[in-house]
Structure 1
Amino acid sequence: MLLGGEAEPVQAAPDPQMPLENFVSRLEQDRASSPDGLYWWRLGERVDLGSLGILGSAVAARRTLGEALRSFARGFPLLQSNSDVSFEVNGDEAQICYRVLDPRIWPRRGDSELTLGLIRGICDRYGVPREAIRDLCFEHAPDRDPRTLARYLGRTPRFGEDENRIIFSARVLGNVPRFPPQEDAAVMARHMEGALLDLRRQTPVVQRVHQLILGRMDRGMVNQRQVAAELGMSERSLRRALAAEGQQFHQILEECRRIHGFALVVRSERLFGEIALQLGYSDQTAFSRAFSRWYGVSPREIRKMGAEETSVIR
């Protein structure tokens, strides 16, 4: 187990039944007690892909780095819920981003270091040199001397970003693994797709809608039509499915706005008008009125309190 102690081999993935907030909290506690500022990063680099179940096997079977990272991003829900991994190529740069979707799960420095370390370990499997990494970003603010990680990686990380991400030269996407894959890539891809289909069938619609809204709220207004299309459903079918689970779309949207709005107010310096538009409100006044209804105080008063570490994790 990743959480089993420093002396044990880094082979097994976290128990899939462990709630994400518990896992992240445990990582944060262990990170706080460790004097080694590189511990979780290096632990991520050393994770055996074979220990990550179907996802790890599908990634390890890929013939190029680009294929491996696409498989990792697509199959990540098999490893961890309520999270998002994206992989994009823009011109001569490629980037892979990671974040926990629920903003109440905070702080999560250890989790981001572990996951980006895992991604760097995949890159290393395909012979990506240090100089190919062009940028490294974290959501959290620096709490230790960043020069330790900078010396290790050959690049100074940036902090306080919207997502955790690694940006690197797109030229290395065609790199082949240092050791030939042991599994057939097509077979493992079919296994992964089947597992993803099973996961979607088993996940309550309310939970899927909640995650979709949180995952897209940073990218503009989210509405019922968009979410229904993403789920492959009509709006009527979506309403029926949610009603069967005792929820309505507007209730889920309101909850997502509430928790995401709080995170933006206390963990960023964005103007309240910008936050209002990002959450889908017509103006700052509408957002401030809703925020005061949720928390009993205005966004301005909450920001003055300096509650950036507020979390559901205790």
Structure 2
Amino acid sequence: MKKVTVNGSFPMIRAAVMGPVVRALDQSGADCDTLLEAFGMSRRLLSNPYEILPLTRYVAAFERAADVLGEASLGLRLGSELQLTELGPAGLVFLSSPTLNAAMRKFTLALASWQNTTSCEVLRDDEWPIWTYQIASPQIWPRRQDAEYSLSTMCNMIRLVRGAAWNPVEVHFEHAAPADLKPYARIFRVPVRFQQPFNGVILRPQDLDASLKSADTQMARMMERHATDLIANDAMPHSIVEQVRDLITRRLAHEKLIVADIAKDLGLSHRSLQRHLAQEGTSVRQILREERQRSVAGLLERDGLTNAAIARAVGYADATVLWRATRSWKK
């Protein structure tokens, strides 16, 4: 199968993926809100499952959650418990496909609607087929929790459509082996190898051709169309200026905007981002001002909005700060 790699934009993922992590923190009694805030997130932001998050923050928050919970194999466990609906159209496409081969192929394509800058493919060159998964950006590291969550999720999905007794042949991970291997034996029930070129689930050739009882042609077509629409509607802009503008507009009301954080989300250093924007005759500060002006102009046309509400909507502390800003805009 052709490799699917979504590039040309900053690494992103849908807010729905944080659902299992938030539940795990809440169930343990951990301070979930403080952890989310540390990574520029909030329950309000995550309440929209389609909200776009920087992939870097999601991966780092997942790693921190495992540390906070003292559960090194958190990703393994959450993947084995995941409901397919939390994967959006990709999960439902998998469930409704006629064979496992079609399910994995269509899932891989639809996954681009849920996260990008991720390389997935089904390799059939050797005797044993293998489904691989890897975040394409090497700068996003460590990423153990995401890798283990993704492979555990894939095995969980296959067991949902093939039966709980199904096992892969082997499982491979790119990271080093941890001290405790018992969770891997419990989840995968097969040999697990570490420090491999990529993360992967190795299958038997006959696994891919097996028919699935959950097949639903109409549902599969609907979810494929939904995934295609999401990819088209939320396609990330390609120029640095457009990417910065897009990040700012998405985050304006939710978090304090810091240049270093924006640069990190784009996979750039602070200095590189400033240099690229200067070459285009602009800056983060100028783009932020322009987007605030545009947002305030639109909000002022709505009935019933107080100045305090407008201020909050564009990231200002209160109406006084908004008033001072609008005065400076007129100079």
TM-score greater than 0.5 by the shorter chain: yes
* 1:4 equivalent in alignment to 2:46: no
Determine the structure 1 residue equivalent to 2:173: 138
Whole-Å separation in 1 of the counterparts to 2:191 and 2:48: 29
**Aligned letter for 2:237?**
P
- Post-superposition offset of 1:140: 0.8
**2:173–2:194 Cα contact (<8 Å) kept:** yes
- Where in structure 2 are the equivalents of 1:8-47 lying within 5 Å? 16-47=51-82
3-state SS in 2 of match to 1:96: strand
Q: Which residue of 126, 150, 163 corresponds with 2:198?
A: 163
Aligned residues: 208
* Counterpart mapping for 1:105-124 below 5 A: 105-124=140-159
- The amino acid across from 1:26 in the alignment is A
Q: Output the CA distance in 2 between the equivalents of 1:13 and 1:47.
A: 18
In the aligned structure 2, how far is the partner of 1:40 from the partner of 1:69? Answer: 20
Q: Say what the alpha-carbon RMSD is for the aligned residues.
A: 3.2
Residue in 1 that maps onto 2:102? 67
Residues 146 and 156, structure 1, Cα contact 8 Å, conserved in 2: no
- Residue 48 of structure 1 corresponds to 83
8 Å contact from structure 1 (residues 132, 172) kept in 2: no
SS in 2 for 1:4: helix
Question: Cα offset for 1:39?
Answer: 3.1
- Per-residue Cα deviation, 1:95-131 (whole angstroms, up to 9, x for no partner): 1111111111110111111111111111112216666
Residue 186 of structure 1 is matched in structure 2 by 221
* Contact kept? 1:37, 1:144, Cα under 8 Å: no
Q: Is the 8 A contact 2:172 2:193 kept in 1?
A: yes
Moved more, 135-144 or 33-42: 33-42
Give SS of 1:98's match. Answer: strand
Tell me if 1:203 matches 2:221. no
Distance (Å, rounded) in 2 between the aligned partners of 1:14 and 1:37:
26
Aligned match of 1:149: 184
Distance, in Å, in 1 between the alignment partners of 2:74 and 2:158 is: 19
CA distance in 2, matches of 1:51, 1:182: 21
> What is the DSSP-based 3-state SS (H/G/I as helix, E as strand, rest coil) of the residue aligned with 1:144?
coil
Please report the TM-score for the alignment, with normalisation by the length of structure 1. Answer: 0.57
Unaligned runs of 5+ in 2: 1-18, 28-46, 241-275, 281-331
Identity across the alignment (%): 22
Instruction: Mark the CA change 1:3 to 1:154 in structure 2 (over 3 Å): closer, same or farther.
Output: closer
Alpha carbons of structure 1 residues 93 and 147: separation in structure 2 relative to 1, 3 Å: same
C-alpha contact (below 8 Å) 1:40/1:110 kept by paired residues: yes
Cα distance between partner residues in 2 of 1:116 and 1:193: 24
Change (3 A) 1:39 1:167: same
Find the partner of 1:94 among 129, 135, 138: 129
Q: For the structure 1 residues 52 and 61, does the alpha-carbon distance in structure 2 shift closer, same or farther, using more than 3 Å as the test?
A: same
Unaligned 5+ segments in structure 1 are 208-242, 248-314
8 Å CA contact 1:131, 1:154 repeated in 2: no
Shift of 1:62: 1.0
Q: Judge which range, 173-182 or 113-122, deviates more.
A: 173-182
1:103 to 122, 131, 138: 138
User: 1:56 is paired with a residue of what secondary structure?
Assistant: helix
Alignment check: 8 A CA contact 1:16 1:80 kept = no
The aligned residue for residue 161 of structure 2 is 126
**Cα distance in 1, alignment partners of residues 102 and 77 from structure 2:** 23
